[in-house]
Amino acid sequence: MGMAGTWTEAEFESIFGEQFARMVRVVRRVLRSDAEAEEICAEAFLKLYRMGPGGIAEGTAGAWLYRVASRSAIDRLRSHKRRGFEEQLDANRGDVADGLESDPLGRLIREERIAEVRFALAGLKVEKAQVLLLRYSGLSYQEIASAMQIKPASVGTMLARAEAEFSLHYQRQQRLSKRAPRLQTAKEG
């Protein structure tokens, strides 16, 4: 590493080259926006650069970056949740790449499911949402343990609990959405 408080250009470029693209893919899974994902990842790298190599243990820059970026993504997702589910769905329609499904109805159904999953994810505690995000983005248990600063043996238990809580949130959300049209009809009638 470079001088005590600063990165050498080669060190930082190496970390950036190894981590940035994968981090963007992880964050994009949550936010469904390339621009927001790149912005969050760039902010994480800026924090790392400003902190310098002395701010983290040697060899843990990638884990630190995943922790910071995934938490920022979850925070952004929660701010979207506060804006409202419908607004979020409308914003997603512009971000979903064309060609994923050529059928407009199929694409609409897929977008609604994605928005529902994101809404349920935003209802979880940060640590649970983060472990789900990291695992379903393809990180190994060891990488998740490193990113979240927990023991590798704890990842499976934490993941199982997070999945169970997510499932409860999602199912409750589904029940509520099925009742909402009946309530609206009753109000109109």
DSSP class per residue in 32-80: --HHHHHHHHHHHHHHHHHH-GGGS-TT-HHHHHHHHHHHHHHHHHHHH
SS3 184: helix
- Write down the domain spans for the chain: 9-188
Q: Which two tokens stand for residue 134?
A: 């990291």
Q: Judge whether residue 39 has pLDDT over 50.
A: yes
Condensed to tens digits (0 to 9), the pLDDT of residues 159-183 reads 999 999 999 988 888 887 776 555 4
Confidence of residue 79 (pLDDT cuts 50, 70, 90): confident
Say if CB 65 and CB 16 are below 8 A apart. no
Could you give the percent of the chain with pLDDT greater than 90?
Answer: 31
pLDDT digits (tens, 9 = 90+) for 24-37: 998 988 888 899 99
DSSP state of 20: H
